[in-house]
Structure 1
Amino acid sequence: MDSPPAASPAPKVYKVGTLTYTRGRLIQVMFWMLWGDFIFQLLESMPTVTPLLLRWHGASDTLIGLVGSLSSIVAFFWYPVVATQSDRYRSKLGRRRPFLLWFAPPVMISLVLLGAVKPAGVWVHGILSSLGNDSVTVAGCSIAWIMVFVVIFLLFNAYIVQVFACLVADVIPVEVMGKFSGFYRAIGALGSLAFNRWIFGWVEAYTFHVYLLIGLLFAGAFSLIIWNVKEGEYPPPPPKAPGGPLGAIKEYLQTCFRHRFYLTFFTVTLFFWTSLVPLGFVVFFGTSAGKAGYAPTLNLSLQEFGEVKGWTFVVQMVIFFIVGFFVDRFHAIRVAVAGMFLTTVTYFCCYWFVDSKHTLLIWWSLNQAAIAVYLGSAMAMGPRLLPRERYGQFVSANLIYGMVGLILAPPAIGWLLQRVADYRYVFIFCGVLTGLAFVALLMLYAQWKRYGGDASFAPPDPVAKTSHAVTP
């Protein structure tokens, strides 16, 4: 008698929270999120045009610098509010998508109005002149218009930045987070490349048209995300802290900045973000823009330096596509440790071995490849290591730590460079800072192992007065 045919294996199922995906459905969700990431990078490239808008209307360097600092100020003070709001919100649409639905339109409108600065400046000047105010100029009205809508854009865009990042953790299963993070970084880099290659050059001649195009693309892409990406159900939020706003601030600080595990996590970000500050001075080492009395530079033309930098972007995009597979296989924290170690080593190699365009291309490309390994794994670390019920809150706390470094480091690095009078030392400064980040990562890895590691890690209770690690 013939034996019955063997049953075909059940299709692979992926879960995150209460969401369950087949492979096909997961691919659809990842497609829409990555499409949103591409358009999101176009949107986030627009603030780089703001200094040019101000300069074209006669703004001083001081005013341009002041407006440029607004994004850091908004991020430092406003992002924690936004993140906590979305963590606590519950609705039929979930806790993230309602904020995308509500704030995408004002982001688009403020962006379009920012692009309309040329006719708007003339219009405002005409109104004020008709009211008898002859002291104002068209340029002054245009600058005021830019400043107003930059602030409005930053306040509303904070919801998009924070909520979209948190939505990733809520809808992408942890088991494929590494691959998704790598693709996310690579697609984001493609978005930035597309803006700089095909859009940036048209901004001066077609300012309003560029802003309108990006605004419409953003609104359309995020409307599709809201429609096609579904959230699961969430447990009830924790009770609100007593004491009103001051009580909420106290609870935020005590929750995020008490537990050693999370402080170590934030410290990695602090040192790594700070290491990006001296890297900004590498253009002075590579070109002939060094100061008199400083050590010799490579004396490359801006075009030659741009070619080298462009190749580093290509290398990073390739690494981003690859690193996710290693993250899912070996865990994000292990890949991050390897990436940070290689980043530190290659920074010191840049200091020792770079003496021409050719050697700069080799060692800087290796360095940027190592950074891509870390960045691709770091994005996947958050969903694995931070409390899911307070994920947005801890993401904002991590950002605060990073912003401290970005705020304090520039004057310190500038002072150090004046003391050593050699732009080659930017690689030493970067290497020291990433070395400190590597030490912090090793500490984080040891704590992760004590809390269960691969076998049983769960994010420790952030408000527990004492922590109890898992012992072997």
Structure 2
Amino acid sequence: MSSPAEVTGGVKKERLYRVGSLVYGSRALMTVMFWMLLGDLCLQIMEQLPTSLVPLQLRWAQASDTLIGFLSGSLPAVLGILLNPLIGVQSDRHRGKMGRRRPFLFAATPLVVVALVGLGLAKPIATILAGWTGATSVASLQIGWIGGCMVIFIVANTYIMQVYQFLFVDVIPAEVMGKFVGCYRAVGALGAFVFHRFMFGKAETHTEWIYIISALLYAVSFFLLVWKVEEGTYPPPPPKTPFPAMAKAYFTECFSKVFYLKTYSLAFCFWSAIVPLWTFLVFFGTMPGQDLGYAPTLGLSLDAFGKVRGWCSLIQVPVFFLVGPLVDRFHPLRIGMVGMMLSSLTFFANFFLVRDQASFTFWLILNFVAQAVYMGAYLAILPRLLPRTKYGQFFTANQIFGFLGVAVAPVLAGWLLETVKDYRYIYVWCGGCTLVGFVMCLFLYREWLVRGGDQGYRPPGFEEESPTAGGGAAH
């Protein structure tokens, strides 16, 4: 896709944006960003289902907190750890008429739709299976069905989430990456607002339709993305090597340098906080858990809780738009460090200061603002720090660390909550994880400065790449 500059006497040339073999004019660039962001809007509505509805479905089937944490957080993480290295190398090496990213999006989308419909119909299907098999526990069959659908969903969705983010680097120019990530996060927050404001309150009475509508929106938007967004041409992949040698090269390149381990630790700490928050916050805000001997919760209805979550997501939208230009100006690592610190402080403030719906809403909004500052910078950090020539490979290595956190955090957080019998302690867990993340940000920032900082940084082991310069304050 190209948009040539118009050159006429006395007329200013149109600015061109380049990424790989692609050359965009302003209009072509805006078109690509539109289709990418439309896909993200529907993707984020769909992504709320496994994190917000599945825990409720499991609780309604009398599952324990530990099992809820495993199926909602740890299982996706374990499968992600196994799949991510394969996806990164597989996508980086693929060459075809549709490019190296879009074929995977096209193939995985139908599987996600089937799995989501299966999750939405879990209760009636479990009832039918109980009638066929003579099983006495419909709840156990329902939990088993949800687990099976989650496996299908996780495998297909892991391909989609990874390859979709690889596509950023292939079709979005580096000089506008911060603004795009800001828009991406803002649109994602808008999708979360739509889900929690208009759908979540009806979760108990219209479960099937929420899943079906979300799945169809997602399918249409991603098929349009695959159709409308073109990839450029890529150089031939390096010759294939035997799997043992390829695995050795992967782990040596990705995990032998401390700088990259510090980079990956940010994902580990942040997602160790956020996924348990998404999983268990609903139980602190509503009634579930009180009949199990837990400390009193806020006792909101699902509708009231959904509206609070919706407003929290909506308030993130302007924050993401504001963070985008700041990321391009001051470097995403600096902005991310501020966001991680604010996230930790507001988590602890929630623990000590929330007493009713008003204080819950106020402090949760502040926490979501802090999260938005970090998340608005996070995806722009990786293109600035990781090698571009093997970005998919290093991106999946980073995801492995994130998934390691997600694998252990929900189960450990669930065990903590079952031990203390108080869902308020989810804030202590999240505050501790993000505090460690802030410390790791400081260590990473110091080494980044030593390696050249704003003007001279080159990825360790790939010093032949041109400096990943971007806007930044002088030091």
Matched with 2:4 is none
Partner of 1:450: 450
Q: Is residue 36 of structure 1 aligned with residue 25 of structure 2?
A: no
1:429 to 1:210, Cα distance in 2 relative to 1, 3 A: closer
Which is worse superposed, 437-446 or 29-38? Answer: 437-446
Which residue type is aligned with residue 87 of structure 1?
A: D
* Aligned residue in 2 for 1:111: 116
Matching residue of 1:19: 22
Distance 1:443 1:236, change over 3 A: farther
Count residues with an aligned counterpart: 453
Counterpart position of 1:268: 266
Q: Secondary structure at the match of 2:180?
A: helix
5 Å-filtered alignment, 1:406-425, equals 406-410=406-410
Give the alignment partner of residue 106 of structure 2, picking from 101, 115, 122: 101
Question: Are positions 1:169 and 2:169 aligned together?
Answer: yes
Partner of 1:276: helix, strand, or coil? helix
Task: Report which stretch shifted further, 414-423 or 320-329.
Answer: 414-423
| Aligned residues of 1:122 and 1:138 also touching (Cα < 8 A) | no
Check the 8 A contact 1:259/1:462 in 2, yes or no.
no
Alpha-carbon contact 1:42-1:214 (below 8 Å) kept: yes
Counterparts of 1:354 and 1:146 in 2: how far apart (Å)? Answer: 33
AA aligned opposite 1:439: V
Structure 1 residue matching 2:17: 3-state secondary structure: strand
Q: Which amino acid aligns with 1:189?
A: A
Query: Higher mean Cα deviation, 354-363 or 315-324?
Result: 354-363
Displacement, 1:442?
Answer: 2.3
Per-residue CA distance 1:206-259 (angstroms, 9 max, x = gap): 5554444333322221111111111112233334443x3x44433322221111
Cα drift, residue 163 of structure 1: 0.8
Alignment match, 2:385: 385
Amino acid at match of 1:264: K
Instruction: Please list, as runs of the form range in 1=range in 2, the aligned pairs for 1:268-417 lying within 5 A after superposition.
Output: 268-276=266-274, 279=277, 300-302=298-300, 309-347=309-347, 361-410=361-410
Counterpart residue identity of residue 23, structure 1: S
Q: Is the 8 A contact 1:254 1:463 kept in 2?
A: no
Distance 1:214 1:392 in 2: 28
Deviations 1:48-80 (A, max 9, x none): 434555666x57547656543432221121222
- Tell me if the contact between 2:75 and 2:407 (Cα under 8 Å) persists in the aligned partners: no
Distance 2:134 2:77 in 1: 33
CA separation of 1:206 and 1:382: change in aligned 2, threshold 3 A: same
**What is the DSSP-based 3-state SS (H/G/I as helix, E as strand, rest coil) of the residue aligned with 1:100?**
helix
CA contact (8 A) 1:43 1:215 kept: yes
8 Å CA contact 2:130, 2:137 repeated in 1 = yes
TM-score (normalizing by structure 2): 0.80
CA distance in 1, matches of 2:171, 2:402: 25
1:258 corresponds to which of 256, 259, 268: 256
Give me the whole-angstrom Cα distance separating, in 1, the residues matched to 2:199 and 2:94: 37
Equivalent residue, structure 1, for 2:186: 186
SS at match of 1:234: coil
Q: Does 1:49 align with 2:60?
A: no
In 1, Cα distance between equivalents of 2:271 and 2:153: 24
Deviations along 1:155-182, one digit per CA (max 9) or x if unpaired, are 2222111111111221111111111111
**8 A contact 1:37–1:184 mirrored in 2:** yes
- 2:22–2:171 contact (8 Å) kept in structure 1: yes
Which 5+ residue runs of structure 1 have no aligned equivalent? none
Which has the larger displacement, 188-197 or 300-309?
300-309
Contact 2:267/2:401, CA 8 A, preserved across alignment = yes
* 1:339 counterpart letter in structure 2: G
Question: 1:107: how far off?
Answer: 2.5
Q: Is contact 2:201–2:306 with CA below 8 Å preserved after alignment?
A: no
Q: How does 1:126-165 map to 2 (within 5 A)?
A: 135-136=134-135, 139=138, 145-165=145-165
Of the structure 1 ranges 312-321 and 351-360, higher mean CA displacement relative to structure 2 is found in 351-360
The structure that has the greater radius of gyration is 1
Aligned amino acid, residue 338 of structure 1: V
1:58-97 superposed matches below 5 A: 60-61=63-64, 67-68=71-72, 69-97=74-102
Query: Residues of 2 paired with 1:65 and 1:295: CA distance?
Result: 17
What is the alpha-carbon distance in structure 2 between the residues aligned to residue 66 and residue 431 of structure 1?
A: 21
Q: CA RMSD in A?
A: 4.0
| 1:229 equivalent in structure 2 | 229
* Contact 1:121–1:138, Cα closer than 8 Å, also in 2: no
**Bigger mean CA offset, 30-39 vs 208-217:** 208-217
Rounded to whole Å, the distance in 2 between the matches of 1:372 and 1:194 is: 17
8 A Cα contact 1:241 1:251, kept in partner: no
1:8 and 2:8 correspond: no
Deviation at 1:318, TM superposition (A): 2.3
Q: Is the 8 A contact 2:78 2:404 kept in 1?
A: no
Q: Matches of 1:272 and 1:355 in 2, distance apart? A: 26
Preserved CA contact (<8 Å) 2:335 2:374: yes
What is the CA distance between 1:36 and its match in structure 2?
0.0
For 2:68 and 2:348, the matched residues in 1 are separated by 34
Q: Which moved more, 1:230-239 or 1:347-356?
A: 347-356
For residues 340 and 362 of structure 1, the distance between their equivalents in structure 2, rounded to whole angstroms, comes to 19
Q: Residue by residue, what CA displacement relative to the aligned partner does 1:395-433 show, whole Å, maximum 9, x if unpaired?
A: 222222122223334565567779999877765654443
What SS class does the counterpart of residue 389 from structure 2 fall into?
helix
TM-score by length of structure 1 reads: 0.80
Give, in angstroms, the shift of residue 100 of structure 1.
1.2
Change (3 A) 1:345 1:457: same
The alpha-carbon distance between structure 1 residues 45 and 273, as it changes in their structure 2 partners (threshold 3 A), is closer
Q: State how far apart, in whole Å, the 2-side matches of 1:148 and 1:343 are.
A: 34
For 2:373, the aligned partner's letter is: V
Per-residue deviation, residues 300-327 of structure 1 (Å, max 9, x unmatched): 4425776655543333222112111111
